[in-house]
Amino acid sequence: MSRHRGPAVLLLLLASSLSGAGGPEGPAPMQIVSVTTEQPVVPALVGRAENPVARVRIEAVGEEEPLAVTELRVNLRGTTTLDDIEGVEVLGEDGARLGRRQDPAELLTFRGELPLKEGTNDLRISVALAPTANLDHVVDAGCDGVRLSDGAEVEPEAAHPPGVQRLGVSLRDGGDGGAAVYRIPGLATTGDGTLIAVYDVRWTGWSDLPGDIDVGMSRSLDGGRSWEPMRIILDMGKDPAFRFDGVGDPAVLVDREKGTVWVAALWSHGDRGWRGSGPGLSPEETGQLVLVKSEDDGRTWSAPINITEQVKQPEWSLLLAGPGRGISMKDGTLVFAAQYLDTPENGRTPRSTVLYSRDHGETWHLGTGARPGTTEAQVVELDEGVLMLNMRDDRGGWRAVSTTGDLGRTWQEHPTSRRSLVDPVCNAALIRAGDRTLLFANPAVPRDPRRRMTLKASPDLGATWPEASQLLLDEGRSAGYSSVTMIDEETVGLLFEGSRAHLTFMRLRLDELVP
């Protein structure tokens, strides 16, 4: 006869157990309080052996006569196509496996034995995706029932919880290509439809500049479904005496008129990163703002072009770009977001601004600081000639937003500044996606840890950001930087530092955000 009791009785048992009371009759036999099914909001990645797509949580009380799960019935209803899946398994908390199936079907039964402990027991339903899985599809999973070692059958409170797992690819992860860490994504689409992704290749660890860091580039010819092998497009040297001449924090833009792809980055000759850089113009004194360009759709790249002396005020402590991506304005002006550290006498206060070229990259110029205490920023063009600068704000909690109609000579605070876009002091992504639509991505939380990577749409050029136009894509913790591009008029590409890979790429339909 089953020992499982009604919910009210079992809640009392749970309270008694958690308080340490065994009752007048001594330790009680194990009872199941509840079985619930949840779906994590994390991308399922092509090429990963494990992708958690559902969690079955079993709450138990009592230590005597412990129970075990001997059968779990899984449903994959809601999955776009089972052809995207090449394996399904059920795993316990310690990695023990209830079973694995390589014959995906809408309904699957797993048999084995997973012992339960008193308290919370989490079982994971995990899938391995086929190498040919379509990134525009989703995976969906639930649990129809659990059989226990005493023969009892338990149905979850919600057999099929709401939500789906979107598909993605691990563009770069720790260990790929011999590098320990990949960070700081930038993403753009060329006139030929090629995706250009740039990022830090941090060979030895997580530390920022100075260090052994180069700028890597990946290229996709099919909208991000597959990627060519990584290439290093900026490597300023490997001499340990100069801290390996690290170069990083890249930003990418495409000249819409000429087709040239530009990448800006910071070169640290020795200790010339955020903390070690000082006044001056030479590599021995201050960090260097360098560019590379490609005039053949990312196939080949120029030698580094150092523009530090063109644009940096000698008294400033540091000048660098975005990072992330820049834009090509309607009149052909090229614009990167930029940031600088003021003089030591002024406390090295950081300010965001814009770096621009009116002659397709022959010469570059710099605007004034939009506001103190801001650093990494993204830029879009609103009305013709009007730029919006969306900034990381050291005060925390919210993004700062300013606009300029004269390429940064003067700035006006935007009505949404520090009101509309929550932020944990992190870089973000911002692009224009149509007539009046802006897209924005960041970890949508007001403070660390960075988590809940979310893509948002504004239908009115950033005046409002409706909750109905927001997609949570990765609820896990991560480094949190992101970059967005339009792959075509209907498809968004997002490259971000995720909880399941250092750099995750996803494709999303624009009409999911903007009906």
Q: Is 434 left (phi over 0), alpha (psi -120 to 50) or beta?
A: left
Residue written as tokens 């196509």? Answer: 81
Instruction: Evaluate whether 337 touches 354 at the Cβ level (below 8 Å).
Output: yes
Pairing of β 52-61 and β 119-129: antiparallel
In this structure, what token pair is assigned to residue 441? Answer: 């991505």
- Strands of 142-148's sheet, edge to edge? 107-115, 68-75, 142-148, 153-154
Scan for tokens 């012992």, then name that residue: 115
Query: How distant, in Å, are the alpha carbons of 269, 338, 357, 361, 497 from that of 310?
Result: 18, 14, 11, 12, 33
**What sign does the dihedral 19-20-24-27 (CA atoms) show?**
positive
In angstroms, the CA 511 to CA 490 distance is: 7
Quote the tokens at residue 255.
């000249």
Apex 379 CA angle, 504 and 377, nearest 5: 70
Spatial contact of 446 and 392, defined as CB atoms under 8 Å apart: no
State the catalytic residues: 376
Which of 353, 398, 394 shows the shortest CA–CA distance to 377?
353
DSSP-derived letter for residue 435 is: S
Longest Cα–Cα distance of the chain, Å, equals 87
Q: How far apart are CA 485 and CA 505, in angstroms?
A: 11
Three-class DSSP category at 11: helix
Please list, in sequence order, all residues whose beta carbon lies within 8 angstroms of the beta carbon of residue 92, skipping any fewer than 6 positions away.
98, 114, 121, 123, 124
211 Rama sector, left if φ>0, alpha if ψ -120 to 50, beta otherwise: left
